[in-house]
Amino acid sequence: MDFHRGDSIFKRAFVFLSSTIPSGKQPKTRRISNSMRMKAARQLPLDFAGTQKLTKEWYALYRSIDEILVANPTVLELVHADLTEKQPKLKRNVEGIASECILRLAIVQQIEGFSFRELIIAVDDSQMLRFFCRFYDDPIISHSKYATLVNRIRPTTWEKINEVIVRFARDKKRFKGKKLRIDTTAVETDIHYPTDSSLLADCVKVLSRLIRKVREIAPAVVGNGRTRLRHAKKLAQKIARGGKSLHKASGKKLYGKLIAATERVMTWADEIRKGIAEGKRGGLDGLELQALAKDIEQYLPRAQQCVHQARERVLNEQSVPNDEKLFSIFEPHTELLLRGKASKPVEFGHMVELHQIEGGLISQYAVHLKRPAEPPLLQDGLMEHQKTFGRLPETCATDKGFYSAEAVTKAQTLGVKHVCIPKKGRRNATEERRERSGWFKLGQAFRAGIEGAISVLKRVFGLRRCLREGWTHFQSWVGSGVLAHNLVLLART
C-alpha cells in the first residue's frame, strides 16, 4: 500500500479496509438513485485544531452554528420541501446533492461575504468548511449548479426559517422581547447607474445577442442584416463622455440616432420572433428557438419603455415620473429611492424593514416592492411581535419617520408603556417635556443601536447589494442575510 502526501485520511482508510477484505467477499454497497434527493448527508464530528486564536474562534463559530442547526431540524425540513417540490427536472449530477448542503452553503456565503464563485472555491479549499457543509471528501458542485438550487428556496421559506430561529432564541437563549426598535434601510439591486443612453445601449446589446443566437440555429429566419451594435455603443460613449458639458442640440442629435438604432433592432427582433412562431420547427432546435423567442418577447416591452422615457426626457424635454421609469432591463423591479443622505442621495433597490429586540436579535423583517409609508408599519410590527413573544414590548423606539399622532396613540392604546418616537416639526410644551424625559432619552439611545446592526448587515452579511437576479430572489437574498446575522449572534451568545 503506497500512499502519497496529498491523499486524504478518508482515501487511506478506504484503501486499508479494502486490502483487509478477502477477495470475492467484498462488502455490499447500497446504490442511491441520482433522481432522489437526500435530506441530509452523513454526519462526522466537526472538530478541528487551530494554532491561532482567530482560527480557533472561526472554528468555534461554525461549531456553534452547526449545533443550532442540528437543534432545529424544522429548518432542514423547510428547505428540503422546496428542493424536492415538483419543478423542471435538473441534471442528474445535481439531484444527488443533499438539501442540507445547499442550506449550509447559503449560510457560509452570507457570513463570509462570498460571491458564488468565491464560495465554491473557498469551501473546496477548506477542510473545515467542507465538514460544515457536509461534503466531507465528496466533490463540490459548481457555482452555477449551486445558484440553480439555492434559487429554488422560496422567500416565504426563508421567513419561516427565521421564525424558527427566533423562537429558538426565545426559548433556549432567553431573548424576552421586552424592547423593540424598528427602522428601514435600502438594499440595492446589482445594476449599473442608469442613464438613458446606457439603457438604450443595453437594449441593443441584449437584442443583438439574441438575434445572433437565433442566426446560429436558423440563419434563414434572421437573414443577412446587421445589428450595428458597435455603432450604438459609440453613440452611448459620446453621450456619456460629453456629460453636462454636452451642448443641448448635440445631445439631442446623438440621442436621436441612438433611439433610431434601438428601434431598428427592436423591429428586426420582433420580426424574428414572429418568424419563429410561424415556422413551428420541432426537435431540440425548435425548442431552443422557442426559448429565444420567449426571451425576445420578454425584453421588447422593456426596450420600448427605455425608448419612450429617453424620447420624452431628452427630445421632448418632458419630465417622466420616477414611478413610470425603468432603471434596468435586467432588474425591472428596481425602485429609485431618495432618502436625503448626503453621501448617497440616490439609491436603486428596495426598502427593507427591520425589527430588532434587546441583545441584537432581528425578530422580524419585511422586503417592500414599493417604498411604504412608515407610520402604518408600527402597529403591524407590534402585533407580529406579540404573536412571536406572547407579549407587547415595554419600550418601542423608532426614528421620526415613523411618527404620527395616530400611530403613537394606537401603540399606547395597545399597551406599550414607553413609545419613544420623536415628533417631526414643532413641538408644544407637553411634547417638549415628553422628549426631554429620562425614559424617552434612554429609549432613543436604545434605538440608535439598530443603526449599527444595519451597518453590520451591509458590510458583513451582504445586504449592501443583492447578488441574485429577480424580485423573488432579491427577497430570498435578504432573508438568508438576516438568518446568517441571527445565527452568528446566537453562536456568540
User: Which pLDDT does position 286 carry in this prediction?
Assistant: 79
Contact (Cβ atoms closer than 8 angstroms) between residue 326 and residue 302: yes
Domain membership flag for residue 393: yes
Query: Which of 276, 300, 324 finishes a domain?
Result: 324
User: Which pLDDT does position 22 carry in this prediction?
Assistant: 47
Distances (CA, A) of 51 to 66, 179, 265, 336: 22, 40, 61, 49
- Comparing C-alpha atoms, which of 280, 287, 323 is closest to residue 305? 323
Q: Is the domain of 186 the same as that of 203? A: no
Say which amino acid occupies 466: C
Q: Is the domain of 346 the same as that of 477? A: yes
Spatial separation of the C-alpha atoms in residues 435 and 456, rounded to whole Å: 29
Q: If you search the block for the grid coordinates 434559487, which residue do you land on?
A: 151
Domain membership flag for residue 17: no
Spatial separation of the C-alpha atoms in residues 323 and 314, rounded to whole Å: 18
> For residue 184, what is the enclosing H or E element?
strand 179-188
- List the CATH number of the domain containing 437: 3.30.420.10
Domain membership flag for residue 79: yes
Q: Is the domain of 297 the same as that of 386? A: no
User: Which pLDDT does position 24 carry in this prediction?
Assistant: 47
Q: Is the domain of 299 the same as that of 350? A: no
- The grid coordinates of residue 119 equal 464560495
Neighbours of 159 (CB within 10 A): 20
Domain membership flag for residue 19: no
Query: Which of 271, 304, 324 finishes a domain?
Result: 324
DSSP 72-94: -HHHHHHHHHHHTSS-S---HHH
User: Which pLDDT does position 281 carry in this prediction?
Assistant: 60
Domain membership flag for residue 232: yes
Domain membership flag for residue 132: yes
Q: Is the domain of 272 the same as that of 295? A: yes
Centroid of chain to Cα 69: 21
Task: Give the tens place of pLDDT for each residue, 70-112.
Answer: 999 999 999 999 998 865 554 444 557 889 999 999 999 999 9
- Its domain, for residue 183, covers 156-191+333-491
Domain membership flag for residue 21: no
Q: Is the domain of 224 the same as that of 89? A: no
Q: Is the domain of 176 the same as that of 244? A: no
Q: The whole model's pTM is what?
A: 0.85
Domain membership flag for residue 137: yes
Spatial separation of the C-alpha atoms in residues 232 and 202, rounded to whole Å: 10
Buried b (16+ CB within 10 A) or exposed e, 100-109: bbbbbbbbbb
In the predicted model, residues of the chain with pLDDT beneath 70 are 1-36, 41-49, 86-95, 280-284
Q: Is the domain of 310 the same as that of 161? A: no
Query: Helix, strand or coil for residue 296?
Result: helix
Domain count, the chain: 3
Q: If you search the block for the grid coordinates 408644544, which residue do you land on?
A: 428
Q: Is the domain of 353 the same as that of 477? A: yes
User: Which pLDDT does position 19 carry in this prediction?
Assistant: 47
User: Which pLDDT does position 259 carry in this prediction?
Assistant: 96
Query: Which of 324, 353, 385 finishes a domain?
Result: 324
Q: Is the domain of 53 the same as that of 139? A: yes
Q: What are phi and psi of 311, to 5 degrees?
A: -65, -45
Q: Is the domain of 362 the same as that of 453? A: yes
Q: Is the domain of 270 the same as that of 214? A: yes
Half-sphere exposure of 347 (CA within 13 A, CB side): 20
